[in-house]
Chains A and B, each alone.
Chain A
Amino acid sequence: MNGPVLILGAASGMARAVARSFAQAGHPIQLAARNVARLEDDAADLRTRYGTEVTLYEFDALALDSHAAFVAALPALPEVAICAVGAMGTQKGSEADPLAASHVMRSNFEGPASVLAHLANAMETRGSGTLVGISSVAGDRGRASNYVYGSAKAGFTAFLSGLRNRLAKKGVHVVTVLPGFVKTAMTEGMDTPAPLTAEPEEVGAAILKAVTRKTNVIYTRPIWRIVMAVIRNIPEPLFKKTSI
């Protein structure tokens, strides 16, 4: 296994770690994000550390009508495509302004689903490949404190699950990644409990392992599986009264 790995939304802290894990494992890396100039240093880093080949692509998750051309223009259809696109916004902002909410929903669901749909079709035709979607434990149950983001991630999680179901017979594997808290720009300033907070490197290593072993769903820190099982199972009448 050493075909190219495409990383969508490559400017995020998590994407940087994921790219390093795959580059270290010997894959050429395709980095895609808005404003590719920002990725020059990351590309230099991957080349310097691992001697890998790195190429950069302009990509806007929200420009849905550009996705077909984006996928078609890749010099090689990747062996693995990882979507790390996302935007948290703030719950307050999303509540006050439905347009802001729409931006969060489109960035976390519509955009990622669209580009993965194009890649899925191409991989299905080829008969091989792995798609990785970075969703979130926030999608496991809507909570007052971030249900706009959570609902978009819930949609994305369901999309990935369906895609996996559809492509399983076609040689294409789909991995759903459910990170809890990860130390990135997104969680900066948030007071996240240490045992539940992963380093980006952990996520990178976990995704590489999941791709290699064809795991379906991973929680980056296993404890989240238990935490979310509990949260999902709190009866609604009780859940209404909590504020988690």
Chain B
Amino acid sequence: MTELSGWGRFPRVDCRVVTARNEADVRAAVLEAPLIARGNGRAYGDAALNAGQTLDMTGMDRMLSFDEGVLVAEAGVLLSDIIHTFLPRGWFPMVTPGTKLVSLGGAIAADVHGKNHHIDGSFRSCVDWIDLMGPDEVVTRVSTGDDMFDWTNGGMGLTGVILRAQIRLRRVETSWIVQESRALTSLADTIAAFEDTMDVPYSVAWIDCADGPHHGHSILLLGRHAVPQDLPMRKPEFKVRHKPKIPVPFGVPAFVFKGFMLRMLNSAYWRLGKFRAGEALVDWDTYFYPLDGLLNWNRLYGKRGFVQFQCALPKDTASEGMEEIMRTIAASGEGSVLSVLKRFGPQSGHFSFPMAGYTLAMDFPANERSLALMEQLDAITLAHKGRFYLAKDARMPEAVAKADSRAEAFAAMRAKAGLKKRFTSVQSERLGL
């Protein structure tokens, strides 16, 4: 037994971990006992935990073919591996989350979104087909148009084990990003700025939630892939190397995440951002993966770990709903160190998280008070017709998850297809999926 957790280190569960290195290993595991597949453990909560059998897919990490941007690879390959292999040849993932340390299977299962959702959609938009092992150990190739393709993208590993997939990469002319940063002083300004920049490929705002909506300082980062003409003389078009990681000490005193300190931290970040506002040329790693440079930063919150709250609100209720969320957080005195606001394009797939509107993601230390606060945020989200991101969830009650009518449909499909008995996670049990 191995004590396992998601990236938030909460909850922790003793799991029997089995590693798959090839299809035969997966088959043996599927026949052996109910299980959940696990990628690189970057989901925050309990989505990739199963006490009876957790199938570690990182041993299946072979890239099988590549032709003009079309890659066939096993599910355990990490996005970082794909980037290090193909960026020097002029290719970059079509969609990437805020960390490159996710597996291909994990990216598909959570149907991850990037800073370009409003233009390119979620990860599924670059997936051609998926080889999926079902409960009867039969491998089916599902592709665009198949019902099971729609359920699997965003299905959190609950439709079967993803063995391999074909995805398309994006042509890029350099490994650099032209970044424009703007310092804004309220939530309303931030949303207005997002609306004004719909044609910019990448956008994300770091927003200060602890300060209430009207003072909701934010730094909006806009980006596009640089072309050779953007580069100063002698800058290499492609620079891709492993950066050394900076270790983070274990645990930081709790007061840092509270009240005055937190406000100081956020305000310092904002001032720094304001100071640096304007256009800059940044490398791909810094732009897309600012946190990956810090090794084990998830340990910052100490032994008890942390919980992320991420909701999406439809466009017409987003500003009102987000304001209420931020007001509630400010009033509680609990706070999220840095919160991320992104714009979403239309929904796709049967059970994926994104919906046309806005999404807000925040970290909270795992303690009674912030769990209580999150229950308030649940209610606000539901009142504004929003939904929650399962890849970040560690604590939702079943009723909240089921308020999304798609959850009921997903559970019914799972029961009917015989998936419920084979593929289960601590999360799926908790949410009654």
Contacts and interface: CB of A to CB of B under 8 A. Distances in A.
Interface of A: 13, 38, 41-42, 44-45, 48-49, 185, 188
A41 B65 contact: no
A42 B71 CA distance: 15
A9 B71 CA distance: 28
Contacts of B59: 13
A44 B64 contact: yes
Contacts of B64: 41, 44-45, 48
A44 B164 CA distance: 14
Contacts of A38: 22
Given A13-B59, A49-B85, A44 B19 contact: no
A185 B19 contact: yes
B63 A188 contact: no
A191 to B, nearest CB: 8
B66 interface: yes
Interface in B401-425: none
B21 A42 contact: no
A38 B64 CA distance: 13
A42 B62 contact: yes
Given A45-B62, A45-B64, A49-B85, 11 more contacts: A13-B21, A13-B59, A44-B62, A44-B63, A44-B64, A45-B63, A48-B66, A48-B71, A48-B73, A49-B63, A185-B19
B92 to A, nearest CB: 16
Q: Is the interface of B mostly helix, strand, loop or mixed?
A: strand
15 contacts: A13-B21, A13-B59, A41-B62, A41-B64, A41-B74, A44-B63, A44-B65, A45-B62, A48-B65, A48-B66, A48-B71, A48-B73, A49-B63, A188-B18, A188-B19
Contacts of B18: 188
Nearest to A13: B21
Contacts of A42: 62
A42 to B, nearest CB: 6
A41 B66 contact: no
Contact of A41 (B22, B71, B85): B22
A41 B74 CA distance: 10
Interface string B31-73: 0000000000000000000000000000100111110000101
Q: Which has the most chain A C-beta neighbours within 10 Å: B18, B21, B66, B74?
A: B21
A49 B85 CA distance: 6
Contacts of A49: 63, 85
Interface string B71-89: 1011000000000010000
Contacts of B62: 41-42, 44-45
A185 B21 contact: yes
B53 to A, nearest CB: 12
A48 B77 CA distance: 13
Q: Which has the most chain A C-beta neighbours within 10 Å: B59, B73, B74?
A: B59
Across the A-B interface, give the 7 residue pairs with the lowest CB-CB distance, nearest first. A45-B62, A48-B63, A44-B64, A48-B66, A41-B62, A49-B85, A45-B63
